[in-house]
Amino acid sequence: MWKARNRYVFENFAGTPADILSQAIVAAKEWASAQEKKAKCSQKSPEQTSRALGTIARSDAAWSETTKNAGLGWTVTSLEQRTMLKKGIGFTPSALVTEGLALKEAVATCSSHGVKEAVFESDSSQLISAVNGDNPPLELYGIVEDIRIIASAFNDVVFGWISRKRNEEADLLAQNALRLYEQEVVVALMPPPN
């Protein structure tokens, strides 16, 4: 009905009630179909698909509660190559948000490299539950939606939890990124020599 109202207001088009109802039914079916596809993707476990999909991306984050700075680290491993990336950022509100940003970077990296099938793993069970569930925490809502939008371009995608021990490489990248970022901030804030 909202779309019909907007069309009437902005395009001066008044459709019949039957047309409006028909359009609403089509939109509802499209939405339901998209939800079924999302549910099918999230029901697979990483163990079931990692060998078949070939690309595994793992992400982690390091966060400083005192400075609110964060380090993001992620690895992308495919049959052809292994990529290790890191990034430092400031003004992050929580450790959970930084975990989400790290996963978003991993998904964006795979998307930009044309990967169409991937398993994304994180040691944050709360984050993985948010991405696979229907109601992410408010602080993660925008990040989770960004992840879902980017991931919608993939043919097959799985988000799974892994233990911290299996995620050591991404954790080391994140710790290093935070350390380097905070060193750069300190140098930038120091007064010039006289």
pLDDT of 186 reads 57
Same domain, 99 and 35: no
Angle made by CA atoms 63, 68, 74, in degrees to the nearest 5: 35
Pairing of strands 56-63, 117-122: parallel
CB atoms within 10 A of CB 168: 13
Ranges under pLDDT 70 in the chain: 1, 31-53, 185-194
DSSP 116: -
Same domain, 121 and 183: yes
Dihedral of CA 40/81/176/169: which sign? Answer: positive
Same domain, 84 and 8: no
Q: How many domains does the chain have?
A: 2
> How far is residue 108's CA from residue 146's CA, in Å, rounded to a whole number?
9
pLDDT of 21 reads 72
Q: Does 194 reside within a domain?
A: no
Q: Does 58 reside within a domain?
A: yes
> How far is residue 86's CA from residue 60's CA, in Å, rounded to a whole number?
10
Q: Which structural domain range is residue 24 located in?
A: 2-41
pLDDT of 52 reads 53
Same domain, 56 and 28: no
Per-residue model confidence as pLDDT tens digits over 59-91? 999 999 999 999 999 999 998 899 999 999 999
> How far is residue 8's CA from residue 15's CA, in Å, rounded to a whole number?
8
Same domain, 51 and 33: no
Same domain, 79 and 118: yes
Helix extents (H) in the chain: 2-11, 17-43, 46-53, 95-112, 125-132, 141-151, 168-189
pLDDT of 23 reads 75
The CATH number of the domain holding residue 62 is 3.30.420.10
Same domain, 54 and 28: no
pTM value is 0.71
Q: Does 110 reside within a domain?
A: yes
Same domain, 181 and 101: yes
pLDDT of 42 reads 47
pLDDT of 82 reads 93
